[in-house]
Amino acid sequence: MSADPVAVRVEGLSKRFGSLTAVDAVSFQVDSGELFGFLGPNGAGKTTLVRMLTTLVRPSGGRACVAGFDVMQEATQVRRHIGVIPQAMTSDLDLTGYENMDIYARFYGVSARERKARIETLLETVGLSGRARELVATYSGGMRRRLEIARVLVHRPAVLFLDEPTIGLDPQSRRIVWDLLRQIRRDDEMTLFLTTHYMEEAEALCGRVAIIDAGRIVTLDSPERLKRQLPGNDLISLTLAAPPEEDLLAALQALPFVYRLHAEDEVLGVYVEAGPMNLAGLMEATRAAGGRVLSAAIHEQSLEDVFIHYTGKSIREEEAKKVSLLLGAGMPRRWNR
C-alpha cells in the first residue's frame, strides 16, 4: 500500500469534448483510507472524472495524482496500484466466475500460489463460492456485480474506484454491495472513491461527499455537515383536512423559524430550523390561521435537499430523464460519457 497520506490529489482538472466541457477545472484531495463520494446526476461529469483519474481518458488540462503517481506521466504505475469497477458490467460472460478472477489476477502478475488462496477468500467474502465454477452468463446482475467487486480486489489495490456501483441493481443486491464496500474499507484499509446519483448511497457510505453538477464541484463536505449547513435543515410534513388557503401559507411563511414551504393538495411540506423544537409552534400557527392538522411528521433533510439548494434542481428529476437508458451491461461507452 502507498505510504502517501494523500490517495488522490486533483488540481484544476478539466476535460473538454469539442465544445462540451464535461469536467471544468475541478480540484480536491482524498486522504488515504477515506470513503469518498461524488454525487450528481448523470451527465454531471462523474464518469469522465473517474476515467481521467484511472488513466482511461486524457485530461484536457490540470493535474491528477493517484496513489502517488501522475495519471498522465506514470499511467502504468497508476494502473498497477488502483482497482476500478466501471459503470458497465465488464466480467466475461463466457468464462466462469473463478476464471474471470484468475485471468484478471494474472494481468497484474499475481503469482499462482497467491492467486488461488486470494481468489477463494474473495469469492467467499462476496458469497459466490458455490457458483464459482459456473459461467458468468448464468449469474444475476447482482451476482455479476459482486464478482466484479471480488475481481477488482484480487491484486490488493491501494485506491478503489467505483463508478455507479449499484446502478441497475435491485434494493437487496444494493444493500449487499453496500455492506461489502463497508467491509472492504474496514478490513483492507483501502481508499474508496465512488460516484453515484443515489443520495441514499452517498449518505449511507461516504465519509465525505463532493456534489458535482455540470462539471463543477458545487460543494464538498461530510453528508452530516452538508445537511446541517442548509438553512431549514428539517422538513415537517403536515397533512391537513383540506388543501391550504393562501392566507394560511402566508401566515406560516411569516414564522421566524420557517425557511420555505410547498403545498401539494392536503400535504404541506415546511422546511424549518430545529424541527422537533418548533413542531408545536408550527401546529399552533396552522390552527390559528384556520387549518386543521390530521397528522404531522418530521423528516431530516437529505443530500437531495443539499443538491437542490446548490443547483436549484433535483437529482431525481435529472435522473428521470436518463436513467432508464442506462441500465444493463452491454451499453456502448459513448452513451455514458
Partner 1 sequence: MEPVSALSRRLVRVSAVIERDLKKFRRNPVIIAMSLLMPVIYLVILGNSFQGKLIGLPVVVVNQDPGPAARALVDNLRAVQTGPRTLLLSFATDERAAVGEVRSGRYKAALIIPADFSHKVALRTRPTLGLFLDNTDGISMQTLRGVVEGAIGALGVDYVPVREPHDRALLRDVNLFPSVDYYQSLVPGVVIMAIFLGTLTTGVFNVVMDRFLGTEEAYLLTPLTKTDIVGGLVISGLSVTSLVAVLVLMLGMLISGIAAPGSLSQVAAILVVILLTTLSLISLMFVLLGRADHPRIVGVLSGFLNVILFFPSGAVYPLASLPGWLKQLAWVNPEAYAVDALKAVLFKDAGLSQVAGDLGFLVLFASVTMGIAILLLKRRL
Residues in contact with partner 1 by CB under 8 A are 51, 54-58, 75-76, 79-80, 82, 84, 86, 88-92, 94-95, 99, 102-104, 106-109, 111, 135, 329-333
Helices marked H in 171-292:
171-188, 199-205, 223-229, 246-253, 275-288
Nearer CB in complex with partner 1: 93/204: 93
Nearer to partner 1 among residue 108 and residue 310 (C-beta): 108
Please state, as a whole number, how many other Cβ atoms lie within 10 Å of the Cβ of residue 18.
5
Residue 78: C-alpha distances to residues 54, 120, 238 (Å)? 7, 26, 53
Distance CA 94, CA 77 (A): 30
Between CA 84 and CA 161 the distance in angstroms is: 5
Instruction: Decide whether 157 or 291 has the Cβ nearer to partner 1.
Output: 157
In the block, cell 486533483 appears at 10
Say which DSSP state 164 is in: S
Least distance (Å) between residue 273 CB and partner 1: 46
Check if the beta carbon of residue 12 is closer than 8 Å to that of residue 25.
Answer: yes
Closer CB to partner 1, 88 or 238, in the complex: 88
Minimum gap (Å) between residue 93 Cβ and partner 1: 8
Which CB, 13 or 82, lies closer to partner 1? 82
Q: Which is nearer to partner 1, 57 or 226 (CB)?
A: 57
Q: What is the C-alpha to C-alpha distance for residues 103 and 100, in angstroms, rounded to an integer?
A: 6
Q: How far is the CB of 321 from partner 1 (least distance, A)?
A: 22
Query: Please, which residues have CB within 8 angstroms of residue 324's CB and are 6 or more apart in sequence?
Result: none
- Least Cβ distance, residue 91 to partner 1 (angstroms): 8
**Cβ closest to partner 1, residue 35 vs residue 85:** 85
CB of residue 334 to partner 1, shortest distance in Å: 8
Could you tell me which residues come within 8 angstroms of residue 14 by beta carbon, excluding any fewer than 6 positions away? 21, 23, 24, 25, 26, 59, 60, 61, 62
Least Å from the CB of residue 115 to partner 1: 10
> Smallest gap, in angstroms, from Cβ of residue 85 to partner 1?
9
